Amino acid sequence: MEKKALFPRKKTRAVKVGNLILGDGQPVRVQSMTKVPTRNVTATIRQIKRLTDAGCEVVRVACPTEADVRALGKIKARIALPLVADIHFNYRFALMAIDEGVDKLRLNPGNIGSENRVAEVVEKAKRHHIPIRIGVNAGSLEKDLMEKYGRTAKALVESARRHIAILEKLDFRDIVISLKATDVPAMIQAYRLASAQFDYPLHLGVTEAGTLVRGSVYNAIGIGTLLQEGIGDTVRVSLTADPVEEVKTAKMILEALDLRSGVRVISCPTCGRAEIDAAKLAQEVEARALKLEGPLTIAVMGCVVNGPGEAQGSDFAITGGKKKGILYVNGKQERVVDEKKLVDELFKEILKRGGRRVNS
């Protein structure tokens, strides 16, 4: 469920990706990318199912070889999410990916060779209503732009402009743009410039952001800054970690800005007063809450000092006592429960009172 944002979203063109619309004021969509060889169909589908359960809405797969491209149809037939083929240079792979039934291509038209080849891909994409994401990356900018602007926001936007011009010349406008950099201020600036100049939906991301904690912080600052300015239509958090963590982080960024009403788990940092293993309880609650649909607030508090107060602002809460915990519903004490059964009892109560499981 989506709440009304506190800041106006920049209006962008609607681009259809499978059964979803990107842009045009639609909810900001969460994307991720699989991290197993795409030609390993079973492993790819398994990972996509885990991503779907975690709340991913669009999934991209890498297509470095023909075997990967040939696997796309089999994957597509067994998943529920729109499927994006990541094609770098090979125009033949782009044509084949469309035949395999993908919902979107990620490719930079300036990188796939002669004008004829570009025209062939674009004509086919047009015929099949397949959008193209132009993905500009600070790590692979054109030499002349690097010489003129360095690895800057301006160079990223100029590079995107060149790729966009190729597609527009062929009267193709089902375009999504990304301008990723590892440098967060440069990335923010690039998207601001792009948002002021183009009306295509923007796919936000900080590239090669790092491992779980560092990458989440860098992504949250880069993506979050832009979203709170109303910029961005879809997000991909890139982390050197399980892709499910990317989806969890992306959803938390959206929730923090009230762009998505998820399940929010509030937990105290714990201190010397804790009479219960609150950190372990919070982790368990967080993991199980992923399977629930929001909006819902659950508080996990280590002791009774702040527990009752926090419980009052939450739909459900547990606070620690001596080897026991107190379960609260709608701010009122429900019952005292043994520590070992606390999480089970909490979720029983949530489901009993109308909490819904995702995909159920």
Residues that bind ligand SF4 (CB under 6 A): 268-271, 273-274, 301-303, 305-307
Name the minimum Å distance from CB 303 to ligand SF4. 3
Name the minimum Å distance from CB 313 to ligand SF4. 14
Question: In whole angstroms, what is the distance from residue 337 CA to residue 200 CA?
Answer: 53
Name the minimum Å distance from CB 346 to ligand SF4. 17
Question: In whole angstroms, what is the distance from residue 275 CA to residue 265 CA?
Answer: 20
Written as six digits, the tokens of 81 are 């999410």
C-alpha Rg value of the chain to the nearest Å: 23
SS3 percent helix, strand, coil of the chain, rounded to 5, is 40, 20, 40
The secondary structure of residue 264, as a DSSP letter, is: E
Nearer CB in complex with ligand SF4: 254/299: 299
Name the minimum Å distance from CB 308 to ligand SF4. 10
Nearer CB in complex with ligand SF4: 269/354: 269
DSSP H helices in the chain: 41-54, 66-70, 72-77, 91-99, 115-127, 143-149, 153-169, 184-197, 212-227, 243-256, 278-289, 307-312, 342-352
Question: Euclidean distance between the first and final Cα of the chain, in Å?
Answer: 15
Could you tell me the CA-to-CA distances from 360 to 53, 84, 116, 291, 355 in Å, in that order? 11, 26, 48, 9, 11
Amino acid identity of 212?
Answer: L
Q: Which three-class secondary structure state does DSSP give residue 125?
A: helix
Nearer CB in complex with ligand SF4: 261/306: 306
Nearer CB in complex with ligand SF4: 221/305: 305
Question: In whole angstroms, what is the distance from residue 296 CA to residue 288 CA?
Answer: 13
Nearer CB in complex with ligand SF4: 297/306: 306
Nearer CB in complex with ligand SF4: 131/307: 307
Could you tell me the CA-to-CA distances from 198 to 11, 157, 202 in Å, in that order? 10, 10, 9
Name the minimum Å distance from CB 300 to ligand SF4. 9
Name the minimum Å distance from CB 280 to ligand SF4. 13
Name the minimum Å distance from CB 173 to ligand SF4. 53
Name the minimum Å distance from CB 304 to ligand SF4. 7
Nearer CB in complex with ligand SF4: 47/314: 314
Would you say how long the chain is, in residues? Answer: 360
Instruction: Tell me which residue has its CB nearest to ligand SF4.
Output: 302
Written as six digits, the tokens of 5 are 């944002």
Nearer CB in complex with ligand SF4: 8/269: 269
| Crossing angle for the helix pair 115-127 and 91-99, to the nearest 10 degrees | 10
